[in-house]
Chain A
């Protein structure tokens, strides 16, 4: 039974990748996630300069296992993040650096610095639903342009994290593929708002935020299911993975790897438990590799036309 994967040339001992924005600031916390059994880690989205982001409340639980956040891309800036990249690489960890910028050239500048520092792959954040960069991720032409521009300049795998808050996710994902992306991450958080009824105030300092965790899991599964029919490049499934069943679901609808984020508030052991559960599932169902279950849910015909009487 093997859960090893090769994702766009990256050999990973587990298909679980730490999602961007969770614990991705310091090498020490990312190392803990690898020690718990993850195959790779994604850093917090890093921009060209230090940025404090939005004030608190910026990350809150609104229902059990469902969170809302509006961090506003707070990050130390690429120059101050390089020492963390170097520490991670000294540990031999596979690192994906999530990158954002205010224009295409800034994305390139940050990505090149990250790669020089040792990043194994780049994920571009064109999809944060509560910061100005979301404008790229809602437009297929802008998405194509940034991806093709970056692919011309960088040699490591490039992943595109998709913004689900769009009318047609498929055409944006296809634009990323056409631009040369090595994979897409589906999905980022879903635009949301919570109001405190006593004070009549939005709870997050920014007002609206991104929904993550349990509540978005079936939405993410549906997006990956739909994208699998359209794309040739790998899809990294992300959204509300708390246990092995949630992970297996993503592979069955066509994911090649998965990202785990919100559930880590329960501790890094979440990852070792998911790994164990996936191996047990493969064994019980007599599959040799996690790759063998990819897309199997598509073999079932679903009813397209309702019965009328």
Chain B
């Protein structure tokens, strides 16, 4: 279920996650409960409206988004203060399916701001009694987010690993390399029991798909594309050659589907609809 109308809501709290990344908490009246992996279109009045992953939802009806300041709209959003209005459309798109089988070995692999939907997924997995292994990669230590929160979650028996491109925190290297190392010495039935959920730079997710293909591992990746409508009309987020729409058929796609997408890791469309390199 999705919700396409814009509702303006007041920002209730703002949390500084790290340099250049803030979480915005708001209450949205909706008959639809958001699920991990879904997104909202966030409107900064007078500026723009952009897709954002939902980073949390609680029983009090509070939602949050976690936003990296990367452009005009996110910059305007970072300038806003508590009590100011933003427009929200959503929840939109599909979501991460949580496995039925409690014995699945679950990996959450995030790159940079891609940790946002995985953080929401982590909290839902814990509620459902799952244990999992997280690999969070970032360029440098200052880009790592949600570490305090994850530190608290370790007590529940899940494992949290960090890596940075420059080695300033955790292991030096890419999240894909940490994951590949973790697969060493595993038997084929152990490999088949793994489920990977990922979000991050598409080049990272593309590499993960290759690794998962080699080992017969199930993967779910959250994709990002430029979009206007967020609900299956404008077509800017269409992926060739199967025509999947990131906004409506996604943003979460399984390895089975990702394998069929020639555009995955290679092309996207700009705001005019022109196909460009990633």
Contacts and interface: CB of A to CB of B under 8 A. Distances in A.
Given A61-B5, A199-B85, A267-B248, 8 more contacts: A23-B238, A25-B235, A29-B243, A44-B235, A55-B47, A58-B234, A60-B229, A77-B274
Interface residues of A, number: 45
Contacts of B248: 265, 267
A60 B42 CA distance: 12
B129 interface: no
Contacts of A31: 243
A117 interface: no
Contacts of B6: 57, 60, 196, 203
A24 B5 contact: no
A32 interface: yes
B87 interface: yes
A177 B173 CA distance: 68
B39 to A, nearest CB: 14
A138 B166 CA distance: 62
B232 A25 contact: no
B45 A58 contact: no
Given A58-B228, A61-B5, A52 B270 contact: yes
A114 to B, nearest CB: 15
B191 interface: no
A201 B45 contact: yes
A80 B269 CA distance: 12
Given A26-B243, A28-B243, A50-B272, A196 B229 contact: no
Given A25-B238, A267-B248, A76 B43 contact: no
Interface in A13-48: 22-32, 44
A222 interface: no
Interface string A71-99: 10011110010000000000000000000
Interface string A246-276: 0000000000000001101111000000000
A198 B85 contact: yes
A28 B275 CA distance: 13
18 contacts: A23-B233, A25-B273, A26-B238, A28-B238, A32-B243, A50-B274, A52-B271, A55-B48, A57-B6, A57-B49, A59-B231, A61-B4, A71-B228, A74-B273, A80-B275, A201-B45, A265-B232, A267-B232
Interface string B239-254: 1111101001000000
A57 B43 contact: yes
Nearest to B89: A60
Interface string B30-41: 000000000001
Contact of B229 (A50, A53, A265): A265
A27 B274 CA distance: 12
A53 B226 CA distance: 14
A35 B104 CA distance: 37
Contact of A203 (B87, B228, B229): B87
Contacts of B41: 56-57
A186 B87 CA distance: 33
A80 B273 CA distance: 9
Contact of A29 (B46, B48, B228, B245): B245
A205 interface: yes
Interface string B246-278: 001000000000000000000001111111000
Given A28-B242, A199-B8, A265-B231, A77 B43 contact: no
B232 to A, nearest CB: 5
A291 to B, nearest CB: 30
A30 B243 CA distance: 8
Contacts of A67: 4, 233
Q: Which of A57, A62, A264 has the most C-beta atoms of chain B within 10 angstroms of its own C-beta? A: A57
Contacts of B50: 56
A116 interface: no
B65 interface: no
Contacts of A265: 4, 229, 231-233, 248
Interface in B199-258: 228-229, 231-236, 238-243, 245, 248
